[in-house]
Amino acid sequence: MSITVSSLQEDINSPNHPLYLHQQDHPGLILISKKLTGFDNYSSWRRSIMIVLNAKNKLKIVTGERTEPDAISNIKALWERTNDMIISWILNTVTDQISNSLNLVSNAAELWKELQEHYAQLDGHTIFQLANEITKLKQEGNSVEIYYRKLKGFWDEMDALEAPYTCTYTCNCENGRTSGERDQRKKVISVSHGIG
């Protein structure tokens, strides 16, 4: 008898199932050491928590891809338990001030959406500062590797600020290619400007 990937994913006792909780999972678990403090670190916090939630196979619950089952479903209680666990994990990684305003949210996807709507707003001042840092960055006495790491860090932060919403589609159209090529040209220009 062969076992398919889809049957493994639907086995609630399998670690591949989004509702599966490991025996070491508990509400007090702190998934990342970085705490969300506000607008200033939302992008990096979001990226870190998404990586961990994906590694624990819980990201689909947070993004709403795995929705709450009907009241008569045999996995409703398990979904509620997993949902509450995820809410606890997220609240453990935000400051008390932020956490106190979110304590009444009872759905992990709603909590995620509320955080995104509140903190993912584009901050023109921060984008301007990053663009300025990229322009001012010089290799000077640093190795190319150190210079590139600093520059890439700025680019990654800029990308996170300018594209806070995850797109699940792969774009192969002409506009997508042109936009990507334009971004690459900007990066090449900033690299050639800073080396020397």
Higher-pLDDT residue of 143, 158: 143
Higher-pLDDT residue of 11, 184: 11
Calpha distance 74→92 (Å, rounded): 29
pLDDT at residue 59 greater than cutoff 70? yes
Indicate the pLDDT class of residue 195, thresholds 50, 70 and 90.
Answer: low
pLDDT at residue 182 greater than cutoff 60? yes
Which pLDDT value is given to residue 68?
92
Which pLDDT value is given to residue 119?
84
Which pLDDT value is given to residue 5?
42
Token pair of 137 as six digits = 């960055």
Write the single-letter amino acid at 37: T
Contact by Cβ (8 Å): 50, 90: no
- 122-146, pLDDT tens digit by residue? 666 677 777 888 888 888 888 888 8
Calpha distance 3→19 (Å, rounded): 19
pLDDT at residue 9 greater than cutoff 60? no
> 24-28, 97-101, 168-172: which has the minimum mean pLDDT?
168-172
Which pLDDT value is given to residue 72?
93
The whole-chain average pLDDT of the chain stands at 81
Q: How far is CA 90 from CA 16, 69, 73, 102, 127, in A?
A: 21, 21, 26, 10, 26
DSSP secondary structure code for residue 183 in this structure: H
Cα-to-chain-centroid distance, residue 133: 24
pTM summary value: 0.65
